[in-house]
């Protein structure tokens, strides 16, 4: 039975002449698990919002949307609120109460259920999701993963027929994201609820999905099962950028040949597939440029930090050296203290014991102007906080003026940054109206006007698509080639494996296991890349898809 049917839907936002959705048609069967993916700004969120009538954005829509055979606009509001649940990208955007149990009760109270009914449903939902240990906690005490799980439970407690999720793992670390997807799969298997999911991270969800759709420029250009969607996309464009968004096992499969069979999608299936290759050559020779070890450009010496006298230590005796011109990636779980560590390196927080050295001089001896003009710049997790003006151009001009450029020099420097980042077409837009990937670029552009020697980035790949991630990688490599030192806090292990010169794991207030990416990831069993998990039995030091593909080609098929 069709639960959703979308026929030739077009949508244009108010005060815009360009269609956000263009002739979109598809059906969703009851009980299916449908995944929608595509580049930032392709129309994914807009499409989801049209399926949840209360979230329909302001604009003009034509075409028809049917829910269980009826036009969506003809169905009463109470039915739609209770039967179609929606989980947003950012957990804090959806939570309305101050404690866990209040949040669970909120929707049921609005439905008019009795206290006895509410208590019964809350007890069942809390037990199902294993939330008993934090049932009485304040929302402020929860991790990002717990908040997103609470959002999910708060929707499911109303027993919806359809669950719509808009990038629900974008704010989570890899382990929390995997756990959330496994929970979603268990829920789907146990209840049969129809799931419609938009996601950039496809590694953990493909194995659970029944239907995959690729959206591009507001149109669905490919639709099929997880094991054949790659073939469909390759027929459209052999080198389509979104092929790189597919699970690692699938990317390795297509990277080795133009296969026409169903592709592997899980780690285990990827291991079985590359098991057909020999492993006489376990590592390819690389031209390694030995880095000259001088005095570090930035260092921490036995640093301790907490946010108050009665609060626990977040940074516990960290000593760290960052060499000039390297990209250093710091990985670790949600809430571990990585952002705090970055703020210490940026001079925004001061250790109560130990010290930070910049150019072999204690950071506390620098004035604010000396520190942030042509020395250090920090990109926060939410780049929107950097912008205060109505357009990006105005924001850049204010920044250039603040750091002392005259009008002519300011114009030249802004022009230089625009060309470097290819953001000329964005300059007269409001900073909050651009896509996630574009926002990262314009935020970095604003920081580059400060002409920093050290750039610190807090979760720069969070919530951006594979195309934007590739652009960011190229930009950072270009900046490194110009001599800039870059420190990145990230959950994205694939990104770190491809870009870093050095990686470290932040755990329990310390930076552990500092090493080059190949050694760092090869020595980890769980905090490693999907490519390394697939290949480690044959090629222990392969940590990227490209590593695995090159080694398989170099070894050839095992014809025993």
How does pLDDT run across 54-89, given as a tens digit for each residue?
Answer: 999 899 999 999 999 999 999 998 888 889 999 887
Strand segments, DSSP code E, in 275-421 are: 298-305, 315-322, 327-331, 353-358, 361-362, 376-379
- Cα 214 from Cα 220, distance rounded (Å): 6
Positions of the chain with pLDDT lower than 50, given as ranges: none
Residue-level pLDDT at 4: 95
What's the pLDDT at 290? 55
CA distance 412 to 405: 10
Over the stretch 286-336, which tens digit does the pLDDT of each residue have?
A: 655 555 566 899 999 999 999 988 889 999 999 999 999 999 999 987 778
pLDDT score of 293: 62
Which DSSP string corresponds to 80-100?
Answer: HHHHEEEE-SSGGGT--SSBH
Neighbours of 185 (CB within 10 A): 17
C-alpha to C-alpha distance for 553 and 308, rounded to whole angstroms: 56
SS3 191: helix
What residue ranges in 78-189 does DSSP mark as E strands?
84-87, 162-166
Which residue segments constitute the domains of the chain, with CATH numbers given?
Answer: 2-237 (3.40.50.300), 247-276+529-560 (no CATH), 324-338+365-528 (3.40.50.300)
Residue 177 confidence (pLDDT): 81
Q: What is the pLDDT of residue 499?
A: 94
Note the helical H segments in 403-522.
Answer: 407-421, 436-448, 466-481, 493-499, 517-522
Q: Would you state the pLDDT for residue 484? A: 94
Residue 215, beta-bridge partner list: 220
Query: Considering Cα of 69, then 74, then 80, then 85, what sign does the dihedral take?
Result: positive
The predicted structure's pLDDT at residue 292: 56
């Amino acid at each position: 039975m069709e639960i959703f049917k979308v026929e030739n839907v077009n949508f244009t936002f108010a005060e815009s002449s360009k269609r956000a959705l263009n002739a979109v048609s598809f059906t969703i069967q009851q009980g299916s698990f449908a995944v929608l993916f595509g580049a930032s700004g392709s129309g994914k969120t807009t499409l989801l919002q049209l399926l949840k009538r209360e979230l329909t954005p302001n604009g003009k829509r034509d075409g028809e949307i049917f829910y269980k055979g009826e036009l969506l606009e003809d169905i009463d509001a109470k039915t739609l609120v209770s039967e179609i649940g929606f989980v947003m990208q950012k957990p804090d955007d959806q939570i309305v109460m101050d404690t866990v149990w209040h949040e669970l009760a909120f929707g049921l109270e609005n439905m008019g259920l009795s206290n006895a009914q509410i208590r019964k449903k809350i007890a069942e939902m809390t037990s199902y999701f294993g939330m008993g240990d934090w049932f009485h906690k304040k929302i402020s005490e929860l991790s990002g993963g717990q908040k997103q799980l609470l959002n999910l439970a708060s929707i499911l407690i109303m027993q919806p027929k359809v669950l719509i999720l808009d990038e629900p793992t974008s704010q989570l670390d890899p382990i929390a994201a995997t756990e959330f997807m496994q929970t979603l799969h268990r829920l789907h298997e146990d209840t049969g609820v129809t799931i419609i999911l938009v996601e950039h991270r496809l590694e953990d969800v493909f194995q659970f999905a029944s239907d995959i759709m690729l959206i591009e420029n507001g149109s669905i250009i490919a639709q099929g099962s997880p094991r054949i969607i790659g073939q469909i996309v390759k027929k459209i464009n052999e080198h389509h950028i979104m092929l790189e968004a597919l699970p690692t096992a699938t990317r390795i499969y297509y990277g080795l040949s133009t296969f026409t069979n169903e592709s592997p999608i899980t780690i285990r299936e990827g291991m079985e597939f590359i098991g057909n290759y020999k492993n006489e050559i376990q590592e390819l020779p690389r031209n390694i440029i030995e880095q000259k070890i001088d005095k570090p450009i930035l260092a921490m010496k036995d640093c301790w930090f907490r946010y108050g006298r009665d609060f626990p230590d977040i940074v516990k005796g960290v000593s760290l050296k960052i060499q000039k011109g390297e990209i250093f990636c710091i990985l670790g779980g949600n809430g571990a203290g990585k952002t705090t560590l970055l703020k210490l390196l940026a001079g925004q927080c001061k250790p109560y014991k130990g010290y930070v050295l910049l150019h072999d001089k204690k950071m506390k001896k620098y004035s604010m102007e000396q520190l942030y003009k042509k020395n250090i710049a920090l990109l926060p997790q939410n780049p929107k906080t950097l912008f205060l003006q109505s357009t990006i151009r105005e924001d850049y001009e204010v920044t250039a003026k603040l750091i002392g450029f005259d009008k002519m020099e300011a114009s030249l420097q802004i022009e230089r940054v625009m060309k470097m980042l290819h953001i000329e077409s964005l300059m007269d837009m409001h900073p909050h109206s651009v896509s996630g990937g574009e926002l990262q670029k314009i935020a970095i552009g604003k920081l580059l006007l400060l002409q920093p020697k050290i750039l610190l980035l807090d979760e720069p790949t969070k919530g951006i698509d594979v195309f934007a991630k590739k652009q960011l990688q190229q930009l950072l490599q270009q900046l490194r080639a110009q001599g800039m030192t870059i420190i990145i806090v990230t959950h994205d292990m694939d990104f770190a494996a491809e870009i870093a010169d050095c990686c470290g794991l932040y755990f329990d207030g310390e930076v552990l296991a500092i090493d080059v990416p190949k050694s760092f990831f090869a020595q980890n069993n769980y905090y490693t890349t999907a490519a390394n998990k697939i290949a480690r039995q044959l090629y222990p030091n392969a940590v990227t898809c490209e590593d695995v593909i090159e080694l398989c080609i170099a070894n050839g098929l095992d014809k025993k």
